[in-house]
């Protein structure tokens, strides 16, 4: 057996990885600044839950902190603990609130629980009465019927003089369920409900708008906005051109290029039958890498309603997925790409600057959020910084 010294290897791991992911932190920071500009007089937070939408909490959190973000939202307490290392003086809100046994972690790491129910509210008041003042936020349900203290209960609590002096909300917030559809009447209904909340909690900052809400206009901005998907390059509002810069590019390496004859079938089930002599590129990514099985060119139920499957991009050409996407492999038809322009070892872009994230998501019958947060562990990652 031969021992290899890593220092003598001729290639960077990224250059030879089966699947790779490029994350442009400059674009990420620029997108956050754009959302801050759109937020007008409101302060602008950064939502970094779900490992910064699948792109890496440490690197993305650091880039956003260095861009000027000082308010962050995470989903669970451990995300907040991790982020604290990279955002030392930021205010970090935990959207799922607090459970008994976690209170010490909130105090130790300076995290702010977003109290999402009357049970959490009662628990946190008891905690602060015993252990001293610690900031919290109140999530009010204005019509989503997901998390949140019921509107009428929240309005009554605002006037409750019996709450302990150690109980210190630093934010009241709610969430729009149809912000991505500007024409929806629900947006106005929720806005009017939240205006009552903001008035009842006068003097406490208020937050209603995530990415799509920011784009609804200044009425929705209040004191703090909470952009998420737009910061990562995704569409926040349906049916309009996406103004955000792409942040992530996913690519898969071509393992083999093979020729197949008219009439032959491709992939599991033989659901795709070739209508011409074809060249097929088999690439090293599949549904285990978050490249959805529903992107298959045939053989999956979604093709009955969304007839066109997924596409990749290589050498200036969009190339279709043929047959079923499998766990580790996907097959693209590269017949229309000149043979001189593509060879084994090259990379096909799965989504990125040439294959917009949300276009790929639509072909899969889903949304960009899901594609990003479904990225597996097998991508070799490269982060692009301002000096590169």
User: Phi, psi (5° rounding) for residue 62?
Assistant: -65, -45
Distance CA 34, CA 46 (A): 12
Q: Answer yes or no: are the C-beta atoms of 171 and 224 closer than 8 Å.
A: yes
- Return the number of other C-beta atoms located less than 10 Å from residue 205's C-beta: 18
How far CA 384 is from CA of 33, 47, 258, 381, in Å, comes to 17, 20, 34, 10
Q: Residue 15: CB partners within 8 Å, gap ≥ 6?
A: none
Q: Does 268 participate in catalysis according to the annotation?
A: yes
Q: Say what the pLDDT of residue 160 is.
A: 87
Distance CA 210, CA 222 (A): 11
Q: Say what the pLDDT of residue 6 is.
A: 58
pLDDT per residue rounded down to tens, the chain (388 residues): 556 565 655 678 999 999 999 999 999 999 999 999 999 999 999 999 999 999 999 999 999 999 999 999 999 999 999 999 999 999 999 999 999 999 999 999 999 999 999 999 999 999 999 999 999 999 999 999 999 999 999 999 998 888 877 788 999 999 999 999 999 999 999 999 999 999 999 999 999 999 999 999 999 999 999 999 999 999 999 888 899 999 999 999 999 999 999 999 999 999 999 999 999 999 999 999 999 999 999 999 999 999 899 999 999 999 999 999 999 999 999 999 999 999 999 999 999 999 999 999 999 999 999 999 999 899 999 999 987 6
Query: Of 258, 263, 260, 259, whose CA–CA distance to 273 is shortest?
Result: 263
Which residue among the candidates 53, 196, 232, 268 is catalytic per the annotation? 268
Q: Say what the pLDDT of residue 239 is.
A: 85
Instruction: Give the chain's radius of gyration (CA, Å).
Output: 24
Which residue among the candidates 49, 347, 369, 379 is catalytic per the annotation? 49
Q: Residue 64: CB partners within 8 Å, gap ≥ 6?
A: 28, 29, 32, 46, 48, 72, 231
Q: Residue 82: CB partners within 8 Å, gap ≥ 6?
A: 57, 58
Distance CA 212, CA 179 (A): 5
Distance CA 331, CA 298 (A): 12
- Where are the domains positioned within the chain? 25-232, 248-384
Distance CA 170, CA 110 (A): 13
DSSP 20: E
Distance CA 52, CA 302 (A): 29
Query: In a 10 Å sphere around its CB, with 0-12 CB exposed, 13-18 middle and 19+ buried, how is residue 144 labelled?
Result: middle
Q: What does the H/E/C string look like for 41-65?
A: CCEECEECHHHHHCCCHHHHHHHHH
Residues annotated in a binding site: 146, 327
What is the CA 176 to chain-centroid distance, rounded?
A: 17
Q: Does 49 participate in catalysis according to the annotation?
A: yes
Q: Say what the pLDDT of residue 4 is.
A: 56
Q: Say what the pLDDT of residue 170 is.
A: 97
Q: Which CATH superfamily is domain 248-384 in?
A: Lyase, Ornithine Decarboxylase; Chain A, domain 1 (2.40.37.10)
Q: Answer yes or no: are the C-beta atoms of 274 and 298 closer than 8 Å.
A: no
Q: Answer yes or no: are the C-beta atoms of 257 and 344 closer than 8 Å.
A: yes
Q: Say what the pLDDT of residue 370 is.
A: 97
DSSP class per residue in 78-144 = HHHHHHHHHSTT-EEEETT---TT-HHHHHHHTEEEEE-SHHHHHHHHHHHHHH--EEEEEEEESS-
User: Phi, psi (5° rounding) for residue 188?
Assistant: -65, -40
Distance CA 256, CA 266 (A): 14
Question: In CATH, what is the architecture of 25-232?
Answer: Alpha-Beta Barrel (3.20)
Q: Say what the pLDDT of residue 173 is.
A: 98
Q: What is the pTM of this model?
A: 0.94
Q: Say what the pLDDT of residue 8 is.
A: 57
């Amino acid at each position: 057996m031969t021992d290899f010294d890593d220092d003598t290897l001729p290639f960077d791991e990224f250059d030879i990885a089966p699947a790779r992911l490029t994350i442009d932190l400059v674009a990420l920071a620029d997108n956050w600044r754009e959302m801050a500009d759109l937020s007008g007089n409101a302060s602008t937070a950064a939502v970094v839950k779900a490992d910064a939408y699948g792109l890496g909490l440490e690197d993305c959190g650091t880039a956003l902190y260095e861009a000027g973000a000082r308010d962050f939202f995470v989903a669970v307490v451990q995300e907040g603990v991790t982020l604290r290392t990279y955002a030392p003086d930021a205010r970090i809100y935990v959207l799922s609130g607090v459970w008994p046994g976690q209170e010490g972690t909130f105090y130790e790491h300076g995290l702010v629980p977003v109290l999402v129910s009357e049970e959490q509210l009662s628990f946190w008041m008891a905690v602060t009465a015993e252990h001293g003042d610690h900031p919290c936020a109140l999530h009010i349900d204005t019509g989503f019927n997901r998390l949140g203290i019921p509107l009428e209960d929240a309005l009554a609590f605002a006037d409750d003089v019996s709450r302990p002096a150690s109980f210190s909300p630093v934010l009241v917030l709610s969430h729009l369920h149809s912000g991505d559809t500007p024409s929806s009447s629900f947006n106005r209904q929720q806005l009017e409900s939240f205006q009552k909340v903001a008035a009842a909690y006068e003097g406490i900052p208020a937050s209603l708008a995530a990415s799509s809400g920011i784009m609804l206009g200044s009425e929705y901005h209040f004191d703090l906005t909470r952009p998420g998907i737009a910061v990562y390059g995704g569409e926040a509002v349906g049916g309009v051109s996406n103004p955000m810069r792409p942040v992530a590019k996913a690519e898969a390496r071509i393992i083999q290029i093979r020729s197949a004859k008219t009439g032959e079938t491709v992939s599991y089930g033989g659901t795709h039958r070739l209508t011409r002599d074809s060249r097929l590129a088999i690439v090293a990514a599949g549904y285990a890498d978050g490249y959805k099985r529903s992107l298959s060119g045939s053989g999956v139920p979604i093709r009955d309603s969304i007839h066109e499957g997924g596409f990749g991009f290589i050498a200036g050409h969009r190339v279709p997925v043929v047959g079923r996407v499998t766990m580790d492999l996907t097959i693209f038809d590269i017949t229309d790409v000149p043979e001189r322009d593509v060879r084994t070892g090259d990379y096909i872009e799965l989504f990125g600057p040439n294959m917009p994230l949300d276009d790929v998501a639509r072909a899969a019958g889903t949304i960009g959020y899901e594609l990003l947060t479904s990225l597996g562990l097998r991508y070799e990652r490269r982060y692009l910084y301002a000096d590169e």
